Structure 1
Amino acid sequence: MKTIIGVDFDNTIVCYDELFHKIALEKNFIDSDFPKDKEKIRNHFRAIGKETAWTELQGYVYGERIFEAEIFPGVIDFFKRTRERAIPIYIISHKTRHPYAGPAYDLHQAAMGWLEKNNFFSNPSVNLNPKDVFFVESKILKCDQIALMKCTHFIDDLSEFLSEPAFPENTTRILFSKKADHSLSKSVLRIEDWCAINNYFFKEHGFFARRS
């Protein structure tokens, strides 16, 4: 079977920890010594009864400020290696067109702009086609797109998405997460960073070596 890889976008390719910390600090929701961790910042907003403010902050980060977000180390190397081996790769993300609250930023356009800024389209070693990037409005549509592209592997940071009943059963589920989750299905492979993902697929005894 031909290998086809799908990758999520937010919190899988793009790292927002520093940016959420920076903006929450700008808006006086946290102190400077608060951990630079998006999940902990989100939990803090919820704990202080600022759920709506958190929703608006997400729209602001994913819209107007996304260009300040960082790329996870190892992502570009992974895309280069797939290109070298002519392995199809797609970005498939559940992302609404506009935020649920706050100004109506075009989040799809902002995300495509971030990919362009980070040379996914212009770097000949990566050479991602914009037509291979899909932003869809629901988890079900994301599952459908993964199936439509016939992905043999999908990399995502959300264990709950990989456990969706509609997730294609023949697609290998790779959870991008540093946190152990003992409730994970045995069908989900947890890999903690992109260096390890690169090793899983491309090292001497990795996935492709085992297939040869």
Structure 2
Amino acid sequence: MRIGIDFDNTIACYDGVFHQAALERGLIPPDLARDKNSVRDHLNGSGRKDDFTELQGYVYGARMELVSPYPGFVKFVGAARRAGHDLFVVSHKTQHPILGPKHDMHAAARSFLVGRGLTGAKPDQIDPENVFFELTKDEKVARAHDLACDVFIDDLPEILSLGGFPPRMRKILFDPQNQFATEAGGFDRHISWAAISADLTRDRA
């Protein structure tokens, strides 16, 4: 199979990262909840939406060393490659932040994949040539179409609902917070990479 995989919040797990980065920059009180949405809502609700926009660029461009792959993803990559599947990272993000220093967020994401041992020349890694960061959602979908993906895995129902994917492609919603149980119509939904691995590779070890 040819399996396309989103990057942010599908491979890269930002749990606690925005909280840590916001504390470093003095943007939030230390007792604020650690999830990204709480940081966003606090800043937006206090009239500092631009601070959150700049914080995103800071995390995605300069602090990816704080980020880890979701539990089970490294094992999934190895199992999928052993099963003979081709893996593609297909994501969308601007190359540079809208506000703040002009970090290269595409380069930072590629460095994350290399640094975590996810891409490389080994048989249990993703080929670096199979990593694509597009500038828009439509370009992301077009890339998945051009790659003839048999499966696409994403954390957002709104992405999987877009037209333009290969017509018979299977869509898997990655929902680790179990927040989209009522919105998964037309998709298969899994809450962990272990479940996805069991589904796509039959590797239950």
TM, length-normalised to structure 1:
0.88
1:101 aligns with 2:76: no
Partner of 2:5: 7
- The aligned residue for residue 131 of structure 1 is 129
Q: What amino acid is aligned across from residue 33 of structure 2 in structure 1?
A: P
Give the match for residue 190 of structure 2. Answer: 191
Match of 2:20 in 1: 22
Unaligned runs of 5+ in 1: 206-212
Aligned pairs, number: 203
CA root-mean-square deviation: 1.9
1:160 Cα deviation (Å)?
1.1
Q: Cα offset for 1:182?
A: 5.3
**In the alignment, is the contact (CA less than 8 A) between 1:76 and 1:126 conserved in 2?**
no
SS in 2 for 1:63: helix
| Paired residues for 1:44-83 under 5 Å | 44-83=42-81
Q: Which one-letter code corresponds to 1:83 in the other structure? A: R
Using the TM superposition, name which of 31-40 and 76-85 deviates more. 31-40
Cα displacement (A) at 1:176: 0.9
SS at match of 1:17: coil
Say whether the 8 Å CA contact 2:10–2:70 is kept in structure 1.
yes
Distance in 1, matches of 2:56 and 2:9, equals 12
Tell me which moved more, 131-140 or 95-104.
Answer: 95-104
Match of 1:111 in 2: 109
User: Separation in 2 of the partners of 1:140 and 1:77?
Assistant: 30
Q: Assess, with a 3 A threshold, how the Cα gap between structure 1 residues 67 and 169 changes in structure 2: closer, same or farther.
A: same
Q: Within 5 A, what are the aligned runs for 1:125-204?
A: 125-177=123-175, 178-181=177-180, 183-203=182-202
- In 1, Cα distance between the equivalents of 2:90 and 2:187? 18
Q: Deviations over 1:122-142 (max 9, x none)?
A: 473523211100000000000
Task: Tell me the alpha carbon deviations over residues 23-44 of structure 1, each in whole angstroms, 9 at most, x when there is no partner.
Answer: 1112222233322211232222
Once residues 196 and 32 of structure 2 are traced to their aligned partners in structure 1, the CA distance between those partners, rounded to angstroms, is 29
C-alpha distance in 1 between matches for 2:80 and 2:178: 26
Q: Which moved more, 1:73-82 or 1:34-43?
A: 34-43
Amino acid at match of 1:140: D
Q: Percent identity?
A: 36
In 1, Cα distance between equivalents of 2:196 and 2:31: 31
Q: Is the 8 Å Cα contact of residues 21 and 36 (structure 1) preserved in structure 2?
A: yes
CA distance in 2, matches of 1:41, 1:58: 11
Runs of 4+ in 1 over 6 A off after TM superposition: none
Relative distance call for 1:124 and 1:182 in structure 2 (3 A) is closer
| Contact 2:87–2:130 (8 Å) recurs in 1 | yes
Shift of 1:84: 0.5
Q: Which moved more, 1:41-50 or 1:142-151?
A: 41-50
Q: CA deviation at 1:16?
A: 1.1
